[in-house]
Structure 1
Amino acid sequence: MFKVGSVFVPVTDLKKSKKWYEELLGVKLIDEWDGGAGFYFPDSPTQLGLVQVDKPQPSEFTIKGNKKNSYYNFLVKDIDEAHSHFNRNNVKTSEIDEFGGMKFFDFFDPDGNPFSVVNEVEDSPFHRDEVKKLQEKHLSTQG
């Protein structure tokens, strides 16, 4: 019944951020509105919206103490190449880390918004192929 349609990111300089997201994430402009712009990813149905704000807004939440988590992540096939891509383009990143076979790192947009990049782990219940099986099973029981 529900799907994630768009994810919105607060930005303080819409013009600068539009260029940054297009160049570094490869998003394509759909349209603009007063104070915002919408994009699509060439390989994903989820859209991205940039919304002009007066001052930076938090795009992460605190788990415990100083440990924070971004609201969503980007999925890549080659995490080493993604990390190198950002480093070649002078984007602030964390080091690549690993947990349970999954590799991940964070990067930051011009407003300091943090985003995680992850690779999928084969046989993980969170791998998109495994999730697709759950979806198909659910649909067949609804039938």
Structure 2
Amino acid sequence: MREKLLRVGTIYIPVTNVEFSSQWYINKLGAELSYKDEDKAILNMANQSIFLVRSKESQSANFIDFHGEKRFSLTFEVNGLDALEELHKDFVDNEIRVGDIENRGHSGRNFVFYDLDGNKFDVWSELSPIFKEKYLISK
């Protein structure tokens, strides 16, 4: 196999109301809208294209792990602990449902947050070294 997967281009997130959810992602997370109709919204956020897709209420991007715990399927990265703490505070101030900042026994710290439909996401304080190098981020 000579070709390799280079990046994740698009993430699909189920939502019950495209209008409300797209406004939430724009206003709360700083996403930029590039397209919207009654069935989907295409947002640009965190160097990704994110599709909010109208789904039934029982749908979620979450899954249940072997131990019965609800898990996220997506982790966002920020550049360091200070950035993580600042983002956590901003999310709390913006009334986003968030968990506590956690030490999970590996480098960095994390916290989880939820969108309007209960989709659970993770934020990690360790920015990928390849991303840092590519975008000339120092620290």
Distance (whole Å) between structure 2 residues aligned to residue 22 and residue 9 of structure 1: 14
Q: In 2, are the aligned partners of 1:107 and 1:116 still within 8 Å (CA)?
A: yes
1:119 to 116, 125, 137: 125
| Unaligned stretches of 5+ residues in structure 2 | 134-139
Task: State the identity %.
Answer: 27
* TM-score (norm. length: structure 1): 0.78
2:43 to 39, 44, 61: 39
The alignment covers a number of residue pairs equal to 125
What's the offset of the Cα at 1:24? 1.4
* TM-score (norm. length: structure 2): 0.80
- From the CA coordinates, give the structure whose radius of gyration is larger: 1
2:93 is the alignment partner of 1:88:
yes
Runs of 4+ in 1 over 3 A off after TM superposition: 130-133
The aligned residue for residue 16 of structure 1 is 20
Distance (whole Å) between structure 2 residues aligned to residue 21 and residue 112 of structure 1: 13
- Assess, with a 3 A threshold, how the Cα gap between structure 1 residues 76 and 32 changes in structure 2: closer, same or farther: same
- Assess, with a 3 A threshold, how the Cα gap between structure 1 residues 63 and 32 changes in structure 2: closer, same or farther: same
Please give the per-residue CA displacement for 1:90-126, whole angstroms capped at 9, x wherever unaligned.
1111110013232001111111111111110xxxxxx
What's the offset of the Cα at 1:131? 7.7
Distance (whole Å) between structure 1 residues aligned to residue 114 and residue 87 of structure 2: 13
Distance (whole Å) between structure 1 residues aligned to residue 84 and residue 16 of structure 2: 28
Higher relative contact order (CA closer than 8 Å, sequence separation 6+): 2
The aligned residue for residue 74 of structure 1 is 76
Distance (whole Å) between structure 2 residues aligned to residue 21 and residue 132 of structure 1: 25
Q: In 1, are the aligned partners of 2:78 and 2:84 still within 8 Å (CA)?
A: yes
CA RMSD of aligned residues (A): 2.0
SS in 1 for 2:91: helix
SS in 2 for 1:30: strand
Structure number with the higher strand fraction is 1
Distance (whole Å) between structure 1 residues aligned to residue 58 and residue 65 of structure 2: 20
